[in-house]
């Protein structure tokens, strides 16, 4: 059985591998809007999505896609979103420790190009 979470180190490796092998990895920032707006940076290749609209935006994810979601701390928001995605048939995991742990470990962040997602 696949783990329900991925560590920041493992995600960083998978992002590098995906980039080098042209293998898609779908990463979604599901922090609540106030948290995202306070710190509008993303993990590379991530897009911000409204966590409680997962049934809507999941339609845009290719079948059989590997998906990682993260919130601020890797708790309720991302864990529930990952579970909803698994219920829809996706291979989805949440980022252990969330955005804060990614940032604490010093991994790359990029500015949100949309300057506030809708």
Q: pLDDT in tens for each of the 118 residues of the chain? A: 468 999 999 999 999 999 889 888 999 999 999 999 999 999 999 999 999 999 999 999 998 899 999 999 999 999 999 999 999 999 999 999 999 999 999 999 999 876 544 4
DSSP SS3 for 95: strand
State the pTM of this model.
Answer: 0.93
Assign residue 22 a region: left if phi > 0, alpha if psi is -120 to 50, beta otherwise?
A: left
- Helical (H) or strand (E) element with 16: helix 8-21
Q: In the chain, how many H helices and how many E strands?
A: 5, 7
- Report the Cα 31 to chain-centroid distance in Å: 9
According to the CATH classification, is domain 5-111 in 3.40.250.10?
yes
């Amino acid at each position: 059985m696949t783990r329900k979470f991925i560590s920041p180190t493992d995600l960083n490796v998978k992002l590098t591998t995906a980039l080098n092998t042209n293998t898609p990895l779908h990463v979604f920032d599901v922090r609540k809007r106030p948290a995202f707006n306070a710190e509008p940076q993303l993990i590379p290749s991530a897009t911000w999505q409204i966590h409680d609209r997962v049934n809507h935006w999941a339609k845009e994810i290719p079948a059989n896609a590997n998906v990682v979601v993260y919130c601020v701390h890797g708790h309720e928001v991302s864990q529930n979103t990952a579970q909803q995605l698994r219920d829809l048939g996706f291979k989805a995991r949440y980022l252990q420790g969330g955005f804060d742990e990614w940032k604490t470990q010093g991994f790359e962040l990029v500015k949100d190009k949309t300057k506030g997602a809708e």
